[in-house]
Structure 1
């Protein structure tokens, strides 16, 4: 199954009052594995960001002034997500903006190009009722490092959310299990077969090279050195 983890940054909170999308980040997952085939772009919204939004993402009007306008990237974004299941944290927010952008161009709403949408905020609330379920809180809960997340960024947040989604849906959080004695229908104790030796397979040179490419992409997105380089040292 092809899935796309998506996040946006915007000039404000409400597309109905003219707020626009200024950044889109997409991370591809195929059969529960990150492929490295990601999509990212900054967008000139043709207006300034609200003060509160600017404090969140830090993308100034000057920085965005030479970036493409949404209608210039809409078709490549549509082609990238076409037919995939899209995963978003607090999906109504991002979909509201993307639907508005596509409708502004006279195209069908963005959501019509997706093969369904998963809202990880809804999932997290079901799994962890009464707890904080922001992206930062989920990173802490699933031991995913977000130390390099100083400001919100669509691609970085999509990468973090992809890790959170895979952790949240894997069904088992450790290699050990607490097993109660099971009995058959006639009351006889069932034999529990112990797990065999865990085999560790070292990464190949091609896999290490691909890993380095992913780290280079993270370095670029944070404009510095990502935390995984520190761990490698």
Structure 2
């Protein structure tokens, strides 16, 4: 099965190079595009003040994260949860910049760009010239935003998981993938399992007179060109 992690962050500001830090991470595990129910959600002490503009977006205050674990205390748990799975994020360069800055700060290896998939880039290809924020995509796909008063890492990751499924072809594709026998390296290409023989034949719904009329028609007009020959067993 293709395992992926949908990932989102909330931060003290917009630029990690200016010293801004993570204050919340949310991860949702997918297998074959569908949520498994496993997730990772943590708040953390950024060891600096949260900008007022950032609080207006996500609603997280300095008081809410005071005394929370620092990223250094959570790095191992995060890396173990993600593993080598592909990471799905909306505007991935933003989340990647922050998580890699935090990893480097504690002496850990940054997550390579090749491990990430950006749903914003996918959406821009699918809907060129249109608004492609997470909110806009949720509205476009009729995904409920009723619980979303402000941004939140875990809630946004769950919403993005629904959006990602739609971008990849919708719920019907997800159900097909559950029956897949062969997956490509990208985790998306698949070949459906062939149907096996029916263990118990269904009873015939054809009346004997209809069957006899069909056989007579074939014998007179179609002969050996018929899809079903005249001696077909209709049971």
Q: Distance in 1 between matches of 2:41 and 2:171?
A: 31
State the partner residue of 1:16: 17
3-state SS, counterpart of residue 133 of structure 1? coil
1:107 is displaced (CA, Å) by: 1.2
Structure 1: unaligned runs, 5 residues or longer: 175-233
Alignment of 1:130-141 (within 5 A): 130-141=129-140
Alignment of 1:20-169 (within 5 A): 20-109=21-110, 111-112=111-112, 116-169=115-168
On the 8 A contact 1:12/1:49 being kept in 2, the answer is yes
Q: Which has the higher strand share?
A: 2
Cα deviation code 1:106-149 (max 9, x no counterpart): 1111x14x872110000000000000000000001111001210
Structure 2: unaligned runs, 5 residues or longer: 174-235
Whose Rg is larger?
2
Q: Distance in 2 between matches of 1:12 and 1:76?
A: 24
Q: Distance in 2 between matches of 1:13 and 1:58?
A: 15
Q: Distance in 1 between matches of 2:115 and 2:126?
A: 21
Q: Which runs of 4+ in 1 moved over 4 A?
A: 171-174
Q: Sort the Cα spacing of 1:42 and 1:172 in 2 relative to 1 into closer, same or farther, 3 A.
A: closer
On the 8 A contact 2:91/2:118 being kept in 1, the answer is yes
On the 8 A contact 1:9/1:23 being kept in 2, the answer is yes
Q: Distance in 2 between matches of 1:74 and 1:171?
A: 33
Q: Distance in 1 between matches of 2:85 and 2:97?
A: 18
Cα deviation code 1:160-215 (max 9, x no counterpart): 000000011126889xxxxxxxxxxxxxxxxxxxxxxxxxxxxxxxxxxxxxxxxx
Superposition TM-score, scaled by structure 2 size = 0.71
On the 8 A contact 1:86/1:115 being kept in 2, the answer is no
| RMSD of equivalent CA atoms | 1.6
On the 8 A contact 1:9/1:24 being kept in 2, the answer is yes
